Amino acid sequence: MNESNKLTIKDLINIGVFTALYFVVFFVVSFVGYVPILMVLLPFICPIVAGIPYMLFLTRVRKFGMVLIMALILGLLELVMGRPWPVVLIAIAAGLCAELILKAGQYKSVKSCVLSSGVFSLWMIGMALPLFFGYRDSYLAGLVSGYGQAYVDTLASLTPDWAFFALIALCFVGGIIGGLVGSAVLKKHFKKAGMA
């Protein structure tokens, strides 16, 4: 590995490729959300699966900034998908914390990788944001016309305000599980092939 801390073109390309992979996995899994109950659990289910490509990405990360840029791009993508703007800030914050945890582990320790996977998945909280706080009423009203009253009623009854904090916890736990699954997959498939 290069000693310098500046990001090389190889790192930037790795970020791009793995962000694409991460986003595709995330996007496919998030289609589960069309079932109302599962939509609430989405911040729990998504990180479990998305943790696998994330852990693979971490095997390529040795410099400060790579996880942060990934989080920024994911945040921007979510913004384009029509979520409220704080998603970008949440994503940047989550990315920065995940980055710092990794740095504390010298980018090598598996434990800090798993922990950072948990923290990194908190960027997905932005997805659930419209359901809570100031956005709630207008968001639900908008959903009624698009998704139907039955869907919205189920959704509303499942999400009192405290659920937001429960979701943060769920998301974190999901990320940790995802990290563990990811490192298991890496051990099973990639170590053997000399790719991790």
Indicate which single residue of 10, 108, 111, 187 sits in contact with other proteins (rule: CB under 8 A): 10
Stretch that binds other proteins, among 86-94, 97-105, 158-166, 185-193 (CB under 8 A): 185-193
Look up tokens 């997805």; give the residue. 127
Indicate which single residue of 46, 72, 101, 171 sits in contact with other proteins (rule: CB under 8 A): 72
Looking at the Cβ atoms of 10 and 111, the one nearer to other proteins is 10
Tell me the C-alpha distance between 99 and 111, whole Å.
14
Stretch that binds other proteins, among 4-12, 86-94, 119-127, 155-163 (CB under 8 A): 4-12
134 binds other proteins (CB under 8 A): no
Least distance in angstroms from the C-beta of 143 to other proteins: 8
191 binds other proteins (CB under 8 A): no
| 77-96: contacts with other proteins (CB under 8 A) | 79-83
Tell me the C-alpha distance between 45 and 47, whole Å.
6
| 25-54: contacts with other proteins (CB under 8 A) | 25, 34, 49, 52-53
CA distances to 24, 89, 156, 196 from 184, rounded to whole Å, are 21, 31, 37, 12
Least distance in angstroms from the C-beta of 177 to other proteins: 13
Nearest-Å Rg of the Cα atoms of the chain is: 17
Angle among Cα 90, 122, 120 to the nearest 5 degrees reads 100
Q: Is the Cα dihedral 10, 102, 90, 141 positive or negative?
A: positive
Residue 110 tokens, joined: 């598996």
Stretch that binds other proteins, among 9-17, 100-108, 111-119, 164-172 (CB under 8 A): 9-17
Query: Cβ–Cβ contacts within 10 Å for residue 23, how many?
Result: 17
| Burial class, 192, CB count within 10 angstroms (exposed 0-12 / middle 13-18 / buried 19+) | exposed
133 binds other proteins (CB under 8 A): no
The site for other proteins (CB under 8 A) is made up of: 7-10, 12-21, 23-25, 34, 49, 52-53, 56, 60, 65, 69-70, 72-73, 79-83, 141-148, 150-151, 185, 189-190, 193, 195
